C-alpha cells in the first residue's frame, strides 16, 4: 500500500479511454462499477468535448457480484453495439472488474458480434494511464492494420496523439504543415481522428512519425516489424529538434530538407538584447519524459537558461531521462510522488519551474514563476487559440509561454533603480504579479525582512542568517548595492562574519568582508 | 400558487419508473470533498486503487492543493496476492500519516470497490487502530464504494458510522442531521434559537470534541434527503425522526421550521414573529431570480437525491414544469412530504439506464436539464440548456437567505443562453 494525495497519471483504463475518445467509429465497453463514469468529465470538461466519450460502462453493483456480472457485461456489450453500430469495439476491465475475473475479452468473443472486438489486458495495480493508452493503440493497430501497397507519393502516419493530450490537437496541425512543405502528405493520424477503417490502411504510408513515445511507441515498433514502416526518433519540439527531425525524415525519404523559417521568431527573440537577462536563469524541469527532454534542450541551448534539475513521473521514460540528466550534470528525479518533487524544488531553489499543473501549484506556494510544459494539465491548458508545442509555431509559443511568468528584464531593472521610490520599493513587486512577486535576480534574494511573501527566500534567510543578525544600518547599506551582486555580497558577508565568530553584522563588518573578498 | 394550498393530488403514490443499466453518477467517495471541509479535525483515508485517487483529484479540482485532509492508500499487486499483511500495511501507513498530521483527531477509513471486493476487513482495522492511537485519535470506517453508494450516499454512510459512537443522553433535544456550509448552519441555529429552541446539536460537528449526544428523548430533523442509513442508525439509538419537506426555498424552509416548531410547542405568534421578515425577503429574492424560470420545463437526471425537493421548489415557487424527476434512490419515508407537495405530472424515475434516459430527454426537449458534468457539455452541444447538478451540493442553498441564490443557480444558464448571440462553430 502507498499513501497518495495527488497522482500524475490515472489508471490504465483512462489511457484506453483517451484512445477511444480520440478515435471515431470505435466503442469501448468497460466492465466497471458505478462511479467509474467520473472519467467522462475529464473529456467533456477539461478537454471541452461536445459529445460523450464513446464508452459504455457495465455499472455493476454489490448485489450483482457473483455470476450475474458476466451477463451484465454481455448485455451492455450487445446494447452498445446495437445502439452505436461501431466499426470495431474494444473491451476491458477497470481495476475492480479485474478483481472479479470475468474475462471481458473471452465473453465478447463468444457473442459473435459482426465487428472486430479487441480485448485489452490492462494491469491496473501495476501500470498507469500512459501505458494504458500505448497498449490500447498497439492492440487496435495489431488487430486491424495489414500490410498494404505504398502510396504512390511519399506519405507518413502521425502516431500517438490522443484525447486529453497536452497540445496534441495543434501539434498535429503544425506537423502536417511542416511535412507538407517537404512534399510529404499525411496518410493517417492515429488515434486522434482516425476510424477503424483508417487504421486498416496505416500500412500504405512510407514511414511513421512517432509524435509522443509515451502513447505511440509500442504501435510504431510493431509497425516497423510487421509492416516495414520505419519511424522517427526525434520529437520536433524546439528549433534544434525540429531541424533534426526534418534531417531524420530527409534520410528516411531521400527528400531534401525544406523548412520555411519565415515565421520562426524564437532565435531572434532569444538573441535580442531584451533577453540578455534570461542568461543563466536557473530552471527546474519536471513532467512526462518526452516533454522534459525537449524542454531541457530548449532551455539550455535556445533560451540560455541553466538547467539545475530535471525529472519525470513516468517510469517508462526513466532510462532516457537518467541519461539526459547525466549529460546536463544534474541529478535525475524519477518519481510520481509530488511531495518528493516539492522537496527537490525547495532544495534547489530554482528561479523558474517548467512542469505540470502540479508544479504550477508548488511554484505558487513557493513564489517561483512556473510555465506548464506537460500533462497533467487543467482546463486552461486546452486553449481555444492555436498553440502547438511542435515545429516553428511551437517554438514561438514556447518562447512566449516561458518568458511570460518571469519579471520582464527592463521592468526588473526599473524596479531596482527606483527601489526607494514609494511606488517601486522591493516589496511592491511587478505590476502584473498583483503585488505578490518580489524580484529575485541572479545573485540570490534580497535580504527581505521576515514578512517576505516568498517561502523560499524566507527559509533561506532563516537558514543562512540563523547565526548572524543583520543590524538595521548594515541592511540599509546592503540595499544600496546593485541587486545583481547583492545576494552574493550578503552571502559572503555572512560567511565572513561566521568565520570571525561574529553574531551581528554592522556596516563595518560589511565593508571588512568586501575588502576581504576583494583580495 | 401558495404554500397554504398543497396540490389536490401529490406524487406520493405516483408510479416510479425503475431502470437498470449504465449509471452516469459519482460513487460515494466524492462525499469526502465536502465532508472534510466540514469536519475540521478529520482525515479521510480511502483504501482503494489508483482510480479512486484519480477520481478524488478530478472531482476536487484545485482543492487538492490546499493541504487536503484526504488521501488514498493505493492497493498494489502485493496487497492483492496475500491478504494477511494488508492489516499491517494499513497500520504502518496510518501511523506514518498520523505522525505527519498530529492535528488529526478522527480518521475515517473509507472502503472502495476494490477493498470491498477483496473483502478487506476495514471495520476490524478501525478497531485495532483505535486501540493503538486512542485517546488522541478515533478511527472509524464506512464504505464509499461505487458498488454500494451513489454520490451523496457517501455522506450518509459516514454519518451513520458515527452514530453508534455518540454518547447517550436522556435530555430532550433537537438534532439537525446533515453537513451544511457553516454559514447556513448558523442561520438555522439562529432561527431555532429565536423560537426558543435552544437544545440543538448538529451531526456532523465541526470538531470531534464539540458536544453531540443521542438518546430516547432526541428528535432529529434531516437537512439533506440522502440520509436513509443515518436515519435508521439514529432510530436504533432511540431517537425519533421528524418528517418534513426539505428547507429549500421560502416554502420549504417555512414548512421545515413549522414541523420543528410544532414538535417543540412553539406558538403561532412566535413562529410568525421569527419567520415573517426572512420569509418576505426570501420570497422577494426568489421572485426576482425566477423571472426567467416561469413557464419553463425542467428534466432531472439522477445524481444526489436532492432532485425531488428541488423539483418541488422549482415547480411551486419558480413556476416551472417538471417533465422527469430522476433520483438514484427514492426513500419515501424521507421525501414523502416533498412528494405530497409535488403536483402530479412529472415522471418519477429511480435508478438509471443513461442511454434510454437521454432518449427520453431528447424527445421531451426540456428548457433546462439538470445533469452531471459528463452529460452537460454534450447536451449543450445538442442545443439543450443544462444546469450541472454537483454545484447544488457544494453551494450554500438551504434556508431563507439562500433561496434567491438557489433559484439563481437555475436561471443563470437560461439567462446566459439568451445573452449569447453566437452560432456555435460546430
Got the DSSP string for A87-108?
Answer: SEEEEEE-HHHHHHT--HHHHH
Sign of the four-CA dihedral A359, A361, A367, A371: positive
CB atoms within 10 A of CB B395: 14
Put simply, whether A78 touches B (Cβ < 8 Å) is: no
Inter-helix orientation angle A472-480/A483-499, to 10°: 140
**pLDDT reported for residue A455:** 36
CA distances from B391 to A432, B31, B217, B291, B398 (A): 32, 13, 36, 21, 13
Which has more confidence, A452 or B85?
B85
Cβ atoms of residues A205 and A150 within 8 Å: yes
Put simply, whether B27 touches A (Cβ < 8 Å) is: yes
Query: Predicted ipTM?
Result: 0.92
pLDDT, tens digit, 9 for 90 and up, residues B136-188? 999 999 999 999 999 999 999 999 999 999 999 999 999 999 999 999 999 99
Find the residue in B nearest to A364 (Cα): B65
Q: Which domains does chain A have, with CATH numbers?
A: 12-143 (3.40.50.1980), 145-253 (3.40.50.1980), 265-404 (3.40.50.1980), 469-518 (1.10.8.550)
- DSSP code per residue over A445-486: -----TT-S-HHHHHHHHHHTTS-EE-HHHHHHHHHS-HHHH
The C-alpha cell that represents A72 in the structure block: 451484465
Of B49, B374, B380, the CB nearest to A40: B374
CA–CA gap between residue B57 and residue A102 (Å, rounded): 28
Known active-site residue A473: no
Q: How far is A490 from chain B (nearest CA, A)?
A: 34
A-facing residues of B in 355-374 (CB < 8 A) are 355, 372-374
Catalytic residue among A274, A421, A473, A508: A274
Are domains B16-22+282-423 and B173-270 of this chain identical in fold? yes
Put simply, whether A41 touches B (Cβ < 8 Å) is: yes
- DSSP code per residue over B278-299: HHHHHHHHHHHHTTTTTT-EEE
B58 and A95 within 8 Å at the Cβ level: the answer is no
Note if the pTM is more than 0.90: no
The three-class DSSP label of residue A234 is coil
- Phi, psi of B139, deg, nearest 5: -110, 125
Question: pLDDT means per 10 residues in chain A (519 residues)?
Answer: 90 98 98 93 93 95 84 94 97 93 90 96 95 98 96 97 97 98 97 98 98 98 97 98 98 96 96 90 96 98 96 96 97 93 92 93 87 93 97 98 78 59 51 43 38 37 60 85 70 85 87 74
**pLDDT reported for residue A503:** 87
A96 and B79 within 8 Å at the Cβ level: the answer is no
**pLDDT reported for residue A485:** 64
What is the pLDDT averaged over residues B49-66? 80
Show residues of chain B in contact with A122, CB under 8 Å: none
CA–CA gap between residue A208 and residue A37 (Å, rounded): 34
B22 and A44 within 8 Å at the Cβ level: the answer is no
pLDDT, tens digit, 9 for 90 and up, residues B87-142? 888 999 999 899 888 999 999 999 999 999 999 999 999 999 999 998 999 999 99
B93 and A96 within 8 Å at the Cβ level: the answer is no
Domain ranges of chain B: 16-22+282-423, 28-149, 173-270
Q: Which of A344-353, A474-483, B72-81, B295-304 is predicted least confidently?
A: A474-483
A331: buried, middle or exposed (CB in 10 Å: 19+, 13-18, 0-12)? Answer: middle
**pLDDT reported for residue A5:** 83
A35 and B58 within 8 Å at the Cβ level: the answer is no
Work out the pLDDT band at B63, boundaries 50, 70, 90.
low
Q: How far is B211 from chain A (nearest CA, A)?
A: 31
Q: How far is B162 from chain A (nearest CA, A)?
A: 23
Put simply, whether B303 touches A (Cβ < 8 Å) is: no
Q: What is the 3-state secondary structure (H, E, C) of B84-122?
A: CCHHHHHHHHHHHHHHHCCCCCEEEEEECHHHHHCCCCH
Answer yes or no: CATH 3.40.50.1980 is held by domain B16-22+282-423: yes
CATH number of B28-149: 3.40.50.1980
What is the pLDDT averaged over residues B355-363? 97
The residue assigned the cell 436532492 is B306
Strand order in the sheet with B70-74: A2-4, B70-74, B42-48, B106-111, B138-143
Put simply, whether B86 touches A (Cβ < 8 Å) is: yes
Inter-helix orientation angle B307-317/B332-341, to 10°: 10
Q: How far is A134 from chain B (nearest CA, A)?
A: 18
Show residues of chain B in contact with A29, CB under 8 Å: none
pLDDT, tens digit, 9 for 90 and up, residues B319-349? 999 999 999 999 999 999 999 999 999 999 9
Show residues of chain A in contact with B24, CB under 8 Å: 37, 40
**pLDDT reported for residue A408:** 59
A41 and B373 within 8 Å at the Cβ level: the answer is yes
The closest alpha carbon to B116, from B149, B140, B77, belongs to B149
CA–CA gap between residue B337 and residue A496 (Å, rounded): 79
B-facing residues of A in 344-373 (CB < 8 A) are 361, 365
Put simply, whether B62 touches A (Cβ < 8 Å) is: yes
Instruction: Work out the widest C-alpha separation in chain A, in whole angstroms.
Output: 91
Q: What is B173-270's CATH topology?
A: Rossmann fold (3.40.50)
CA–CA gap between residue A382 and residue A165 (Å, rounded): 9
Amino acid at each position: 500500500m502507498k499513501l497518495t494525495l495527488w497522482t500524475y497519471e490515472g489508471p490504465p483504463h483512462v489511457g484506453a479511454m483517451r484512445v477511444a475518445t480520440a478515435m471515431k467509429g470505435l466503442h469501448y465497453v468497460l466492465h466497471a462499477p458505478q462511479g467509474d463514469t467520473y472519467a467522462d468529465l475529464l473529456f467533456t470538461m477539461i478537454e471541452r468535448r461536445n459529445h460523450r466519450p464513446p464508452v459504455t460502462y457495465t455499472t455493476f453493483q454489490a448485489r450483482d457480484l457473483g455470476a450475474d456480472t458476466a451477463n451484465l457485461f454481455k448485455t451492455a456489450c450487445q446494447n452498445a453495439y446495437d445502439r452505436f453500430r461501431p466499426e470495431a469495439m474494444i473491451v476491458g476491465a477497470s481495476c475492480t472488474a479485474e478483481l472479479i475475473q470475468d474475462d471481458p475479452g473471452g465473453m465478447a468473443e463468444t457473442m459473435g458480434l459482426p465487428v472486430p472486438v479487441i480485448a485489452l489486458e490492462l494491469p491496473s495495480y501495476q501500470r498507469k494511464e500512459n501505458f494504458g493508452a500505448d497498449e490500447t493503440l498497439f492492440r487496435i493497430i495489431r488487430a486491424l492494420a495489414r500490410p498494404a501497397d505504398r502510396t504512390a507519393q511519399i506519405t507518413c502516419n502521425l502516431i500517438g496523439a490522443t484525447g486529453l493530450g497536452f497540445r496534441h490537437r495543434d501539434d498535429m496541425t503544425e506537423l502536417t504543415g511542416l511535412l507538407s512543405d517537404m512534399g510529404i502528405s499525411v496518410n493517417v493520424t492515429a488515434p486522434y481522428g482516425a476510424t477503424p477503417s483508417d487504421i486498416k490502411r496505416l500500412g500504405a504510408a512510407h514511414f511513421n512519425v512517432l509524435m509522443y513515445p509515451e502513447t505511440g511507441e509500442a504501435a510504431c515498433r510493431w509497425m516497423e516489424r510487421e509492416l516495414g514502416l520505419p519511424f522517427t526518433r526525434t520529437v520536433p519540439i524546439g528549433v534544434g529538434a525540429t531541424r533534426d527531425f526534418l534531417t531524420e525524415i530527409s534520410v528516411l525519404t531521400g527528400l531534401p530538407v525544406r523548412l520555411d523559417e519565415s515565421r520562426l521568431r524564437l532565435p531572434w527573440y532569444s538573441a535580442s538584447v531584451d533577453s540578455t537577462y534570461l542568461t543563466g536563469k536557473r530552471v527546474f524541469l519536471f513532467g512526462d519524459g518526452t516533454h522534459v527532454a525537449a524542454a531541457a534542450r530548449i532551455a539550455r541551448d535556445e533560451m540560455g537558461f541553466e538547467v539545475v534539475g530535471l525529472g519525470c513521473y513516468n517510469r517508462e521514460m526513466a532510462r532516457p531521462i537518467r541519461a539526459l540528466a547525466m549529460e546536463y550534470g544534474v541529478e535525475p528525479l524519477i518519481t510520481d510522488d509530488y511531495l518528493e518533487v516539492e522537496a527537490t524544488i525547495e532544495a534547489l531553489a530554482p528561479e523558474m519551474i517548467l512542469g505540470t499543473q502540479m508544479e504550477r501549484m508548488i511554484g505558487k506556494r513557493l513564489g517561483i514563476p512556473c510555465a506548464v510544459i506537460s500533462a497533467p494539465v487543467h482546463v486552461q491548458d486546452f486553449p481555444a487559440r492555436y498553440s502547438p508545442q511542435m515545429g516553428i509555431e511551437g517554438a514561438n509559443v514556447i518562447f512566449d509561454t516561458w518568458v511570460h511568468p518571469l519579471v520582464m528584464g527592463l521592468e526588473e531593472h526599473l524596479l531596482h533603480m527606483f527601489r526607494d521610490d514609494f511606488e517601486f520599493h522591493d516589496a511592491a513587486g511587478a505590476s502584473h504579479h498583483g503585488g505578490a512577486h518580489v524580484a529575485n535576480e541572479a545573485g540570490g534574494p534580497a535580504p527581505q525582512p521576515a514578512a517576505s511573501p516568498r517561502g523560499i527566500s524566507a527559509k533561506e534567510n532563516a537558514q543562512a542568517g540563523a547565526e548572524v543578525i543583520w543590524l538595521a544600518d548594515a541592511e540599509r547599506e546592503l540595499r544600496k548595492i546593485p541587486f545583481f551582486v547583492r545576494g552574493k555580497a550578503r552571502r559572503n558577508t555572512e560567511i565572513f562574519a561566521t568565520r570571525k565568530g561574529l553574531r551581528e553584522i554592522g556596516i563595518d563588518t560589511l565593508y571588512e568582508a568586501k575588502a576581504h573578498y576583494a583580495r | 400558487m401558495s404554500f397554504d394550498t398543497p396540490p389536490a393530488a401529490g406524487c406520493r403514490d405516483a408510479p416510479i419508473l425503475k431502470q437498470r443499466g449504465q449509471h452516469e453518477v459519482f460513487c460515494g467517495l466524492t462525499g469526502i470533498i465536502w465532508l472534510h471541509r466540514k469536519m475540521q479535525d478529520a482525515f479521510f483515508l480511502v483504501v482503494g486503487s489508483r482510480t479512486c485517487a484519480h477520481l478524488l483529484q478530478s472531482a476536487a479540482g484545485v482543492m487538492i492543493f490546499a493541504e487536503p485532509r484526504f488521501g488514498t492508500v493505493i492497493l498494489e499487486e502485493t496487497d492483492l496476492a496475500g491478504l494477511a499483511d494488508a492489516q499491517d500495511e494499513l497500520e504502518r501507513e496510518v501511523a506514518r500519516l498520523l505522525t505527519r498530521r498530529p492535528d488529526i483527531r478522527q480518521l475515517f477509513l473509507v472502503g472502495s470497490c476494490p477493498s470491498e471486493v477483496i473483502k478487506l476487513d476495514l471495520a476490524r482495522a478501525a478497531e485495532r487502530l483505535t486501540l493503538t492511537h486512542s485517546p488522541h485519535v478515533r478511527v472509524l470506517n464506512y464504505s464509499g464504494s461505487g458498488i454500494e453508494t451513489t454520490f451523496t450516499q457517501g455522506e450518509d454512510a459516514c454519518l451513520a458510522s458515527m452514530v453508534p459512537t455518540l454518547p447517550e443522553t436522556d435530555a430532550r433535544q433537537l438534532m439537525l442531521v446533515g453537513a451544511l456550509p457553516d454559514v447556513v448552519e448558523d442561520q438555522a441555529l439562529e432561527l431555532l434559537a429565536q423560537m426558543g429552541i435552544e437544545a440543538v446539536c448538529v451531526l456532523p460537528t465541526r470538531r470531534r470534541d464539540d458536544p453531540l449526544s443521542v438518546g430516547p428523548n432526541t428528535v432529529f430533523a434531516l437537512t439533506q434527503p440522502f440520509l436513509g442509513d443515518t436515519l435508521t442508525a439514529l432510530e436504533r439509538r432511540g431517537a425519533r425522526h421528524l418528517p418534513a419537506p426539505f428547507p429549500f426555498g421560502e416554502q420549504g424552509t417555512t414548512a421545515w421550521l413549522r414541523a420543528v416548531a410544532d414538535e417543540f410547542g412553539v406558538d403561532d405568534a412566535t413562529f410568525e414573529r421569527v419567520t415573517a421578515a426572512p420569509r418576505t425577503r426570501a420570497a422577494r429574492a426568489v421572485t426576482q431570480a425566477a423571472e426567467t424560470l416561469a413557464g419553463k420545463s425542467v428534466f432531472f437526471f439522477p445524481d444526489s437525491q436532492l432532485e425531488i425537493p428541488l423539483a418541488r421548489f422549482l415547480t411551486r415557487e419558480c413556476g416551472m414544469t417538471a417533465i422527469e424527476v430522476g433520483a438514484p434512490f427514492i426513500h419515501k419515508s424521507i421525501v414523502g412530504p416533498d412528494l405530497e407537495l409535488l403536483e402530479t405530472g412529472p415522471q418519477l424515475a429511480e435508478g438509471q439506464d443513461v442511454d434510454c434516459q437521454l432518449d427520453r430527454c431528447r424527445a421531451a426537449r426540456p428548457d433546462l436539464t439538470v445533469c452531471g458534468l459528463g452529460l452537460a457539455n454534450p447536451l449543450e452541444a445538442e442545443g439543450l440548456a443544462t444546469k450541472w447538478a454537483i454545484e447544488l451540493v457544494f453551494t450554500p442553498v438551504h434556508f431563507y437567505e439562500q433561496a434567491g441564490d438557489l433559484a439563481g443557480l437555475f436561471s443563470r444558464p437560461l439567462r446566459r443562453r439568451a445573452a449569447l448571440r453566437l452560432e456555435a462553430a460546430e
